[in-house]
Amino acid sequence: MELTGIESTVALVTGAAQGIGAAVAGVLASAGAHVAAVDRNAEALATVVTKLEADGGSARGYCVDVCDSEAVDALVRRVEDELGPIGILVNAAGVLYTGRVVELSDRQWSETFSVNAGGVFHMSRAVARRMIRRRRGTIVTVASNAAGVPRTEMAAYAASKAASAQFTRCLGLELSGYGIRCNIVSPGSTDTPMLRAMLGEGTDPRQAVEGSPAAYRVGIPLRKLAQPRDVAEAVAYLVSDQAGHVTMHDLYVDGGAALHV
């Protein structure tokens, strides 16, 4: 199925310097979008943008911290001044701290929510204000299957992703009268730098496929890790015309790991 409605659209993608965010930027650029790639890691972001351009895509990098609401507002103004109206927003920026609740620091909890929930709020609010005036647009938040399934040593991450998912559903309800769609993509274990950092150096990421009874964690029924592009393709579908009657939906891309909760 060929996706339509993406070509020539300005797509702002946060967390674009690596992992799922970089994959989303690549898939949307290959579909003809003008990608505004956003991240706070300037060096890694420049590498991604250079590759997108070398592959024939239209992309420009913007180094911004999504936790800073004033910087986000200024960014959105700048992107629209330089590239045109934002028609697609993908919230893919995220951080992960692992550890048992009794061992988590205030800083770890606060930063997790500042990026994973606060960043989604700041960016969505800034873009939605402009989409409302145009009565069109689509927003996708990359959450996690951990938002719906309890995970040991992932309380801050899971709670922040649950907050971002429910926020996006509420936003979708508020914006539906303007023809603006808001959806969620919830990945499971995906072969990204974040997963490798969580598992630890020297650990085979495919261990996530087997699960861990001691941690009350089932494996992945499809017997494979997701690749970042698997998640990016789901995002591309939700922002396309082919999903024109889909809003407030949470699409799990986890190989069945959540057992369809």
Cα distances (angstroms) measured from residue 199 to each of 159, 194, 223, 261: 20, 9, 18, 24
- Which residues does the annotation mark as catalytic? 157
**Helix and strand tally (H, E) in the chain?**
9, 7
* Spatial CB neighbours of 48, under 8 Å, sequence gap ≥ 6: 16, 17, 18, 22, 25, 37, 59, 61
Q: Identify the three-state secondary structure at position 253.
A: strand
Show the tokens assigned to 94.
């995220």
- Give the strand order in the sheet containing 181-187: 58-63, 34-39, 10-14, 86-91, 138-142, 181-187, 250-253
* Spatial CB neighbours of 173, under 8 Å, sequence gap ≥ 6: 248
Query: What DSSP designation does 40 have?
Result: S
Q: Identify the three-state secondary structure at position 184.
A: strand
Residues 99, 108: contact at Cβ < 8 Å?
A: yes
Q: Identify the three-state secondary structure at position 61.
A: strand
C-beta atoms surrounding 26 within 10 Å: 23
